[in-house]
Each structure stands twice: as structure tokens, then as C-alpha cells.
Structure 1
Amino acid sequence: MKKFVTSVIYISLLLIPAFAAAQQNALNNVVNATDPALAAAFQAAQQGMPVFTVPPPVSISADERYSDTPAAEYLPLAKRAVLEYEYTSSEFVAPKVIRVEYLTYSEKDATAAVNMIIFNKTKPRVTNFVTVAGADGLRSSDSPLYGPRLEFPLPLVYNAVWNEGPDRSRVAALNAKIAVPAGTYNGCLKITTRLSGGDAGSAERYYAPGVGLVYEQIISEERQETLKLTSYQLK
């Protein structure tokens, strides 16, 4: 259906000059048969009329409120994946590297064991945490920038909101697009957070289908931090 509509629009655009020429010939015939004084007045007024043009087609983006992606695909716990991120912050100058590896997955407990390494110039900081898929959502005992949190709620619906302490998060999109060093990802889940209800700043993060967290940014009164996926591989 979409191809048919596109073809009709394209053909219509091609025929517009022919239609315009035919209309101009018909108009000239009417003017020639009109009283000379009225015809002269019309032709004088026509000189100041704007030229008729066809505007270019408008590109309409996909609706970000809807998606057919299963919720579990936004953070696939069962995949033994290794994700590396570029980590920048207002608290240090040179970017750091964060490596997150999904080690094991228990189908019985719906739990993934995760290892996270933040590489510094001196000694890397290593932490281990778990992410659990529960009835109310996917919850992590730690995360690269935020610490313990609900990654996203279940059931996953557009505009769902939840509170964690003073912070209020919302499902802002189910079909968003984000570009990071690892590539451009479509169909992403976007979560926005108002820190302390918005008084202390804001945050946003994107989860790509089949990959997981690909982008996160926190802008607060105390710091500004950004996480961008640079590589992704399965073990």
C-alpha cells in the first residue's frame, strides 16, 4: 500500500507541469475573449502573483510510542555479551573505559551475573552485581553511572512512571533512535529521569533491542556524566 501511495504521489508531481500548462492555455483563451480593459487589468495584476511551486514531501518519523519488540529484548540477560563504553565526566579530564560482561544466566531465577570494570590510569575498579527479571520489571543491584535501580518496569508501556527515592523515571519512548560510537540503533527503549523531581537535574538512557544499554547521560547539580557504547560482542 505504501509503495502504491508513493507511486501515485510521484506520478502526480510529474503531471503537475502539464496540468499547469493546460490551465494557463485555458486562462489565456478566457482573457482573449474578455473585454480588453478588464483583460489588461487582470494581466497587470497577474505579474505580481507568486509563482506556483510544489513543496518537497515531508518526512514523517515513526511513532516512538509503540513497538513490537518484546520487553526482554531491550536487556537480553541470557546472552553472554561483553559491552565496552566510553565514560566521560565533569569530574575528570580524559575519558575512561567501562567494560560490562554478562557472565552467567539462571533461567530458574531469571538472574544474570554481571562483571563491571572501570579502567583508571592506576588500578581498575572491579565490581560484580546481578540483574533480575521480576514480575514488576528488570532490576539491577548496580549500574555504571546510577547504582542500584529498576532498569525498566513490566509490563513495559509508553509513559509508565515510577519513583526510586526522590527520583522519578518515565518510559519516554519505545521506538527511539540513538547514535553512539558502536553504531546507530533504531527501535530503542528510552528512559528519562527527573533527579529529585527535577530540582537536582535530569538523566536519560537508551536500550537497543538485542544489545542492552547503549547510551546514558546524567546532568545534575554536582556532575555531568555520559556513557556511550563503543563495542559489543558475544562470547
Structure 2
Amino acid sequence: MNPEQFQQRLADHGIKLTTAQMEQFAKYYQLLITANHHVNLTRITDEKEVYLKHFYDSIIGALAEPRLQTAALTLCDIGAGAGFPSLPLKIAFPQLKVTIVDSLNKRIKFLEELVDQLGLTAVRLIHDRAENFSAKKSSHREVFDVVTARAVARLSVLSELCLPAVKVGGEFIAYKALAAPTELAQAQVAIQKLGGQVRQTVKLLLPKINEERNIIMIDKIAPTPARYPRRPGVPNKKPIQ
């Protein structure tokens, strides 16, 4: 998917990117490739693949949840890595108020430079473990309209890292691929214990290659119990069952 095809495919879905936004994506790609020589950000470096498997793939969350396209939502991206999915969403939908959390300071430094170079506003970058970010006494606990995560961990673990940051009435959007049904079945107990309720899974295909993507949308219907998230490392070693 070249930049022109990227723009046209989104336009087919009613998402019309301006020349300025396309320039931001072009600069994003160049900065990503340059920084990738020094910081391990992505295995995907071919321009067409980046536009398809990173930029377009990030924005499909807004096809599943149209509110992302128009509402001034507070969005927190847990374990964003090189900024996916939150920064492509932010470029496409500037009204979003984005907070990015990542445990590796080198990635946060890259994102700081990226946000500055792209001229993005209302973006906060936080170097922290997800377990600490939304812990019991954290000011970030249960305050976000939407929390997103893409390619971070299996859903049973991811739910404990993300749902504590979602406010009651908000939602957690997990980007998953083919394993989504299995992961969702294994995560049902964790989701319920953490105050979540699965609303739906939206199945989409990446154009050209027809790779399956599943956007799992989980509503926050009750406060997360104070004991969650557990201390760093524990959710991954001992997922809630």
C-alpha cells in the first residue's frame, strides 16, 4: 500500500486526509526508519508495508469505533512502542487527546522527537510500567475515555494492564489478529473481575494481503478492584483466571 493508496482506501471509508496530514505521515515514516537504526522500533521498514501494517492497521480501530473519528476523547495507549495505534489515530483525528505509556525510555525519547517534528499537540508521553501507571493511588487510574493496546500481550494479561486506566463508562480497545477468539475465551474471567464487559469483536481485513484483524471492544461497567493491577511482572507470569 503506497501513500496514495493509503489515502484513497481511507477516503473510501469516509476518512479524508488533507495534504498536511499526508505530509505528517510521510515525515513519520522517515523519522521511524532513521531512528530504527539506533532503537529497535519495528521489524517492518518497507514503505508500503509501514503504510499498510502500521499506519492503516492503526486507523482501523476508528472503523470499529466511529467515535474516535469525531469526539474529543481522552485516549491512552499502553505499550505504544513506536506510537501505534495512537499516533496514526491522532494524525487522522486531531481532536483526540492522547497519552502514551511505554516502559522503555529510548522509545519515549523517539516519540518526543516525533511528536515535536510532526507538530502534534495534546499528546503526553509517559515513561512507566503499565502496572504502576494505573495503580491504586495513581492519578491516571480510571480517568480515560478509551485505552488502546496493539501487539503488547495476550488479552488475559492485557486486560489487567489496560482496564484499570479506563473510566467507568469508557472502553478498552484491543487490536488482535487471528488468535483473537482463543485469547478472548481465555480472558473472560479477567475481564469480568476487572470491571469490563465485552461489547463486540469487529473483524476486518487488511487490504491487498487480506490479513485478518480483530478489534475487541470492552466496556468498563464497574470500578476495577483496588488490588489490580498487581505489581510489575505479575500479570504476565500469573494471568487472572
Q: Which of the five TM-score ranges fits, normalised by the shorter chain?
A: under 0.3
Q: TM-score, normalised by structure 1?
A: 0.25
Please identify which structure carries the higher strand content: 1
Q: TM-score, normalised by structure 2?
A: 0.25
